Amino acid sequence: MQPYTPVSCRLHSELELMIMHEKTLQLKLNNYQETTESLVAKPYNILTKDKNEFLQLKNTIGELIDIRLDRIVSFKISD
């Protein structure tokens, strides 16, 4: 696993707003293999584990998924 790189306060704040407004997001994620992957899910919480920050997402079947914040390349509200 790559060392954690802290994210900007702006990204952190934008994600907190998406959680508060219960928006479904389309996220583009870095998979550390020179490519990206896409994910559509609803942000649920932001947590810290072992000095890493994670966005906890709820997928379409209600499962919780933790994504390290520094993997997020971009996101937009899903239609």
- Give pLDDT, residue 54: 97
pLDDT digits (tens, 9 = 90+) for 9-51: 999 999 999 999 999 999 999 987 777 899 999 999 999 999 9
Q: Which domains does the chain have, with CATH numbers?
A: 9-77 (2.30.30.100)
Contact present, 43 and 18 (Cβ < 8 Å): yes
pTM above threshold 0.85: yes
